[in-house]
């Protein structure tokens, strides 16, 4: 099949859209047809491997229904004997790349997940699809060009994002800043900083990374910092012209210099809970709304928001998807021996589900519970004729904070309340705590030096904002009072010192920052002890 690079050279935008974004034209029945066909191919691949024989046993599996009925749901603990040593003799024949992510304390130090060559190739396809959608304005609109500059503010190999970047570099005609080989030798912050500095010279077309990074860079510009110091390496004719043009544009509009004055991004691709939090800010700073993607080490890049911003849509060829209705999730939490029932994509309805997937294309994980909750919002987007279910990320299954059994708060709920309260803050973490009066939500915030509110004033402001955003919380404080929310200020530099301590202790990238939800007492002790 003709490559993306070749299609670009030929100017065949019609074929590019069909190849990389054509899944959006599928009916739900056609989508499931692809899912079922690839699942049966995957079962045939696994049958002759040690890992496959263990999970499939001697069951006669002739249909996807047989597979779901006979093969139990799994977690990573089930795969430790087969994957932790990266022994490819346990897997179907073929070439594999090993992706790493964080493990579980006391059980396994990390997770290793094998990517087959076909999965690696597909990673490039779905990222190209994501870039096309992030930059388009309507169906069939392909704005990507040969030599487009991409700043990838994500982790390097052996993390999934690192493999995504290399696969994209190999198959797409784009230019990364900094160059990938150079970037892998840098600390994360250094890599991002140098990427933006190089982009002053090269220009910037696509950003792929955390919304937080773009938000912070926008804040630096708006505060008058200009984003970065004008060192010798920036004093180049092209850079000077870019800066002067940006200053003139900002001056004419009587506002500070912003990133959108210097770069005209075609697309922004982000992932994580912070996308919605920063969406309006990013449009103001960068002149473009971000599109949210859903990716994980165990499943690769799983889904992408459409250009219409109604929600994310699953890619059909990466994984076979099942979903546990939230009522079944709760049954399983009450009784750990209970096997929750699942539905497939053609059976979901609007509401909350836990994601279960089986790797396709020669992967290793079967009926895998990743621990993510998603919320199906609409079953189709008729305005742009996408007839597939759309969803938003809801929460990790273990990150929900319930107060008085009447309200369940996600990371997004709390983060949005803090953001919209107008507090000047560095970062935060939240925990459900039990006191004499009962359970409460305790938010620990590191304020910026210019923040004028004390902790009690911040508590009242955040409580009011959270009540306005979350009806359940509003109803709960009417019954239990606003004392169910407590805010404590952490000392200046608490998060930076924590991150530095983790880095010195050799923690991997996933464990450098404290979690926003339900941190361990040891984490809170370190944060509080930074005074």
Average pLDDT value for residue range 247-263: 93
Q: Where are the domains of the chain?
A: 401-528
At 141, list the tokens: 């609109």
What pLDDT score was predicted for residue 109? 83
Can you read off the two tokens belonging to residue 150?
């991409």
Residues 329, 340: Cα–Cα separation, whole Å: 7
Rounded to whole angstroms, what are the CA distances from 507 to 5, 124, 202, 504, 516? 39, 29, 34, 8, 17
In 287-349, which ranges are continuous DSSP H helix? 326-334
pLDDT in tens, 311-338: 999 999 999 999 999 999 999 988 999 9
Q: Alpha-carbon distance 61 to 44, whole Å?
A: 10
d(CA 376, CA 352): 6
Overall average pLDDT of the 29-43 stretch: 98
Q: Which pLDDT does position 136 carry in this prediction?
A: 95
Q: Are 111 and 160 in contact (CB under 8 A)?
A: no
Give me the pLDDT at residue 43, please: 97
**pLDDT at residue 435, rounded to an integer:** 81
Average pLDDT rounded to a whole number, residues 347-351: 97
Q: Taking residues 22-41, report their average pLDDT.
A: 98
User: Could you please report the per-residue DSSP string of 173-234?
Assistant: -EEEES-HHHHTTS-HHHHHHHHHHHHHHH---EEEE-HHHHHHHHHHHHTTS-SS---GGG
Q: Convert the pLDDT of each residue in 373-394 to its tens digit.
A: 999 999 999 999 999 999 999 9
Q: What is the mean pLDDT of residues 188-213?
A: 89
**Cα–Cα distance for residue pair 120/97, rounded to 1 Å:** 8
**Calpha distance 120→362 (Å, rounded):** 10
Which pairing describes strands 148-153 and 108-116: parallel, antiparallel, or unpaired?
unpaired
Provide the whole-model pTM.
0.87
Class of the domain covering 401-528: alpha beta
How far CA 59 is from CA of 70, 355, 368, in Å, comes to 7, 24, 18
CB neighbour class for 508 (10 Å; exposed up to 12, middle 13-18, buried from 19): middle
């Amino acid at each position: 099949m003709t490559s993306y690079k070749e299609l670009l050279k030929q100017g065949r935008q019609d074929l590019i859209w069909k190849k990389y974004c054509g899944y959006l034209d599928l009916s739900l029945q056609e989508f499931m047809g692809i899912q079922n066909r690839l699942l049966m191919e995957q079962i045939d691949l696994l049958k002759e491997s040690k890992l496959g024989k263990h999970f499939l046993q001697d069951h006669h599996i002739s249909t996807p229904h047989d597979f779901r009925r006979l093969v139990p749901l799994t977690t990573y603990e089930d795969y430790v004997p087969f994957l932790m040593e990266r022994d490819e003799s346990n897997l179907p024949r073929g070439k594999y790349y090993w992706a790493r992510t964080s493990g579980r304390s006391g059980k396994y130090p990390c997770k290793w997940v094998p990517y087959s060559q076909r999965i690696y190739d597909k990673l490039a396809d779905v990222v190209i699809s994501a870039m096309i959608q992030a930059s388009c304005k309507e169906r069939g609109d392909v704005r990507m060009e040969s030599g487009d500059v991409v700043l990838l503010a994500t982790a390097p190999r052996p993390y999934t994002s690192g493999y995504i970047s290399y696969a994209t570099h190999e198959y797409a005609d784009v230019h990364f800043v900094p160059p990938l080989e150079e970037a892998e030798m840098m600390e994360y912050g250094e890599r991002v900083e140098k990427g933006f500095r190089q982009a002053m010279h090269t220009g910037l077309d696509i950003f792929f990374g955390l919304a937080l990074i773009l938000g912070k860079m926008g804040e630096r510009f708006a505060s008058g910092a200009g984003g970065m110091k004008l060192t010798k390496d920036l004093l180049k004719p092209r850079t000077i012209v870019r800066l002067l043009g940006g200053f003139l544009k900002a001056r004419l509009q009587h506002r500070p210099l912003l990133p959108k004055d210097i770069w005209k991004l075609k697309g922004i691709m982000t992932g994580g809970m912070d996308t919605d939090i920063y969406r309006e800010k990013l449009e103001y700073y960068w002149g473009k709304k971000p599109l949210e993607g859903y990716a994980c080490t165990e499943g690769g890049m799983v889904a992408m928001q459409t250009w219409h911003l109604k929600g994310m849509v699953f890619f059909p060829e990466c994984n076979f998807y099942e979903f546990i209705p939230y009522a079944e999730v709760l049954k399983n939490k009450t009784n750990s021996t209970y096997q929750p029932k699942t539905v497939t994509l053609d059976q979901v309805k609007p509401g909350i589900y836990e994601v279960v997937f089986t790797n396709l294309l020669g992967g290793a994980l079967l009926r895998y519970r990743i621990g993510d909750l998603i919320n199906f919002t609409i079953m189709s987007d008729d305005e742009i004729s996408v007839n597939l279910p759309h969803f938003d990320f809801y929460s990790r299954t273990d990150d929900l904070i319930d107060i008085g059994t009447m309200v369940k708060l996600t990371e997004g709920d709390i983060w949005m309340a803090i953001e919209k309260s107008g507090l000047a803050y560095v970062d935060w973490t939240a925990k459900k705590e039990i006191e004499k009066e009962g359970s409460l939500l305790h938010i620990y915030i590191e304020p910026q030096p210019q923040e004028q509110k004390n902790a009690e004033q911040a508590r009242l402001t955040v409580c009011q904002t959270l009540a306005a955003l979350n009806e359940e919380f509003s109803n709960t404080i009417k019954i239990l009072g606003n004392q169910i929310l407590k805010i404590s200020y952490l000392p200046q530099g608490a998060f930076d010192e924590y991150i530095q301590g983790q880095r010195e202790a050799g923690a991997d990238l996933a464990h450098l920052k404290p979690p926003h939800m339900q941190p361990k007492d040891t984490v809170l002790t370190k944060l509080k002890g930074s005074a």
